[in-house]
């Protein structure tokens, strides 16, 4: 009893103070409506992101799962659902690959309620990401993109998605942990995930994880079966790096620019820095240099590699494209004339896949030098063909090929030179060197032209 009176008095004082504040606001002419009091940072974040978030529906056929060893006695049709985020005004949307895998007709519902049909244009099963496209007049809203570089455990986050088919569901929580590795199936493992206690349910896959400022910091990707209140998201910096590759001009427009660059993120923002210019490329023809910062392409602001690649989409070979560059503090305007991807690079890629079983992409020399100063650059392994010579020697995705025989492999041109040499005897083992983490590994590949 001695403490009950002070508590009641304190509560009465709080009520009186609140009423007095409202009367003061009313007297001053300021609004005291409930909407003003409820328009929180989370509400603002959701309202800003919602137009760029879409819901995905479709049907797929899967094994019934009743047979021995997990194989079914037949097939059954199931309803697929998930979420996507608009990355380009022309209708390019990123989502999880498992959301659209096997779906014959991908249906996309916009925030306005309009439903359209999308097509799958690029996919990366290893990272479980895919790009789908809908028809657009080029006026679709884009989501605000943040960074996952400075995330902090404990900071508030918001998840949006098509949870259990309930479109544009919003949940909130905090970042529980960073850099989680999660094995969701026998064949699918995720790395460097953001762990959150914001409720993520089936159907949330492919949707954005937002920070309190309404910026996308991740893509919701997984729910831990049997766990309560634990969800995971792919970090947005990793997602956009993969999206840049999936939406590259070479891949979607069959054009070649020759720029190998990197997104550099700092406290002041992000910028796209040229790390390397491929020999005899359109970029080399205009004397683009390593260290140049590309700031715009045809009026489209460039802050990331994804911006650069998507700005070049739709430009045909021999089209002059105006690019704006900062070089040593001075602005430059250059006309980049992209060319058709008909050089020896596609042929080299095909030959590398056929002879070695590898799909490769250039890695900027600055990235390599952060790991080892011994090498000027390398070719990152994007995919390894099952049963290939590379697979037999244990080469795996993420390794960086830095040399073969006595030559370095900084570019695909280097690799073409090696594979086309007459002094490499058919069937004779060729020594290779790969970087895995900060360790150099080597072995011998047997190359047979047949």
Give the whole-angstrom CA distance, residue 155 versus residue 151.
8
Residue 10: inside a domain: no
Q: How far, in Å, CA of 196 to CA of 212, rounded?
A: 14
Q: Give yes or no for a contact between 81 and 207, defined as CB atoms under 8 angstroms apart.
A: no
Q: Is 210 exposed, middle or buried (0-12, 13-18, 19+ CB in 10 A)?
A: buried
Give a yes or no: residue 185 inside a domain: yes
DSSP symbol at 33? -
Q: Is residue 124 within 8 Å of residue 97, measured between CB atoms?
A: yes
Question: What CA–CA distances, in Å, run from 329 to 143, 308, 322, 325, 332?
Answer: 30, 20, 19, 10, 10
For residue 335, indicate whether it is catalytic: no
Residue 271: give its domain's CATH number: 2.30.42.10
Q: Which of 57, 88, 128, 292 is catalytic?
A: 128
Question: Which of 187, 364, 334, 338 is closest to 262 using CA atoms?
Answer: 364
Residue 342, C-beta contacts closer than 8 angstroms, at least 6 positions apart: none
Has residue 112 been placed in a domain? yes
Please classify residue 42 by burial: count the beta carbons closer than 10 Å to its beta carbon, then call 0-12 exposed, 13-18 middle and 19+ buried. Answer: middle
Within-domain flag for 28: no
Instruction: Provide the pLDDT for residue 190.
Output: 81
Residues 199 and 226 both lie in one domain: yes
> Is 15 within 8 Å of 7 (Cβ atoms)?
no
Q: For residue 419, is it within any domain?
A: yes
What does the longest C-alpha to C-alpha distance in the chain come to?
Answer: 98
Residue 144 lies in a domain: no
Residues 218 and 273 both lie in one domain: no
Question: Does residue 140 lie in a domain region?
Answer: no
Q: Assess contact for 159 and 133: CB atoms under 8 A.
A: no
C-alpha neighbours within 13 Å on the C-beta side of residue 49: 32
Q: What separation in angstroms does the CA of 423 have from each of 174, 389, 405, 411, 428?
A: 60, 20, 11, 21, 10
Q: Is residue 98 annotated as a catalytic residue, yes or no?
A: yes
Question: Can you give the pLDDT at residue 18?
Answer: 46
According to the model, what pLDDT value does residue 77 have? 59
Please tell me which residue in 148, 176, 199, 205 is annotated as part of the active site. Answer: 205
Whether residue 268 sits in one domain with residue 224: no
- Tally of domains in the chain: 4
**Residue 371 belongs to what H/E stretch?**
helix 365-371
Please tell me the predicted confidence (pLDDT) of residue 270. Answer: 93
Note the pLDDT of residue 15.
Answer: 44
pLDDT of residue 357: 87
**CA distance linking residue 94 with residue 122, whole number of Å:** 10
pLDDT value at residue 27: 52
Tokens in use for 392?
A: 């037999």
CATH value at residue 177: 2.40.10.10
- Both 335 and 289 in one domain: the answer is yes
List the domain range (segments joined by +) for residue 205. 156-240
Check whether residue 350 and residue 335 sit in a common domain. no
pLDDT of residue 7: 40
Query: Which residue among the candidates 98, 168, 315, 324 is catalytic per the annotation?
Result: 98
pLDDT in tens, the chain (450 residues): 444 334 434 444 544 454 455 445 445 555 545 567 788 999 999 999 999 999 999 887 655 554 333 334 455 555 778 999 999 999 999 999 989 988 989 999 999 889 999 999 998 887 889 999 999 988 899 999 999 999 999 999 999 998 888 888 999 999 999 999 887 766 677 888 999 998 888 888 999 999 999 999 999 987 665 556 788 999 999 999 889 989 989 888 888 898 888 899 988 889 999 988 887 789 989 999 989 999 999 989 999 999 999 999 989 888 899 999 999 999 999 999 998 876 556 567 767 888 888 888 888 777 777 777 778 788 989 888 888 889 999 999 889 999 888 788 888 878 887 887 665 655 578 889 999 887 889 998 877 654
In this predicted structure, what is the pLDDT of residue 19?
Answer: 45
Instruction: Identify the bridge partners of residue 158 per DSSP, sorted by sequence position.
Output: 172, 210
Q: Is residue 149 part of a domain?
A: no
Conformation bin of residue 256: beta by default, left when phi > 0, alpha when psi is -120 to 50: beta
Tell me phi and psi for residue 236, to 5 degrees.
-65, -35
If asked whether residues 224 and 254 sit together in one domain, one would say no
Residue where the block lists tokens 């009950």: 4
Provide the pLDDT for residue 66.
44
């Amino acid at each position: 009893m001695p403490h009950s009176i002070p508590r009641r008095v304190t509560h009465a004082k709080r009520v009186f103070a609140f009423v007095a504040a409202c009367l003061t606001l009313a007297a001053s002419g300021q609004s005291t409506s409930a909407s003003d009091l409820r328009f929180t940072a989370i509400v603002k974040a959701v309202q800003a992101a919602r137009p760029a978030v879409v819901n995905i529906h479709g049907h797929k056929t899967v094994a019934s799962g009743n047979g021995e060893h997990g194989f079914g006695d037949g097939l059954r049709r199931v309803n697929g659902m998930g979420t996507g985020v608009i990355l380009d005004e022309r209708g390019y949307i990123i989502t999880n690959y498992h959301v659209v895998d096997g779906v014959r007709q991908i249906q996309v519902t916009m925030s306005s309620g309009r439903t359209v049909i999308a097509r799958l244009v690029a996919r990366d099963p290893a990272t479980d990401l895919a790009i789908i496209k809908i028809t657009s007049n080029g006026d679709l809203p884009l989501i605000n993109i943040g960074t996952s570089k400075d995330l902090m455990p404990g900071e508030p986050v918001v998840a949006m998605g098509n949870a259990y088919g309930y479109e544009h569901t919003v949940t909130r929580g905090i970042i529980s942990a960073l850099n989680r590795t999660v094995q969701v199936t026998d064949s699918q493992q995720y790395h460097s995930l953001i762990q959150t206690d914001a409720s993520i349910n089936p159907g949330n896959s492919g949707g954005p994880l937002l920070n309190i400022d309404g910026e996308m910091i991740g893509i919701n990707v997984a729910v831990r079966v049997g766990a309560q209140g634990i969800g995971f998201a792919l970090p947005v910096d990793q997602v956009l790096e993969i999206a840049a590759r999936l939406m590259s001009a070479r891949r979607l427009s069959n054009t070649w620019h020759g720029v190998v660059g990197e997104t550099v993120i700092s406290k002041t923002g992000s910028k796209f820095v040229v790390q390397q210019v491929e020999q005899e490329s359109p970029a080399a023809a205009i004397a683009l240099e390593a260290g140049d910062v590309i700031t715009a392409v045809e009026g489209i602001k460039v802050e990331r590699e994804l911006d650069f690649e998507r700005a070049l989409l739709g430009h045909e070979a021999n089209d002059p494209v105006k690019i704006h560059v900062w070089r040593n503090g001075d602005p430059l305007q250059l006309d980049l004339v992209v060319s058709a991807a008909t050089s020896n690079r596609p042929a080299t890629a095909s030959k590398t896949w056929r002879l070695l079983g590898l799909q490769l992409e250039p890695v900027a020399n600055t990235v390599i030098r952060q790991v080892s100063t011994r090498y000027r650059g390398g070719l990152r392994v994007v995919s390894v063909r099952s049963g290939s010579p590379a697979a037999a020697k244990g080469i795996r995705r993420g390794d960086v090929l830095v040399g073969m025989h006595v030559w370095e492999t900084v570019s695909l041109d280097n690799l073409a030179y090696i594979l086309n040499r007459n002094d490499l005897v058919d069937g004779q083992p060729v020594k290779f060197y790969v970087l895995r983490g900060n360790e150099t590994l080597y072995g011998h590949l047997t190359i047979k032209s047949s």
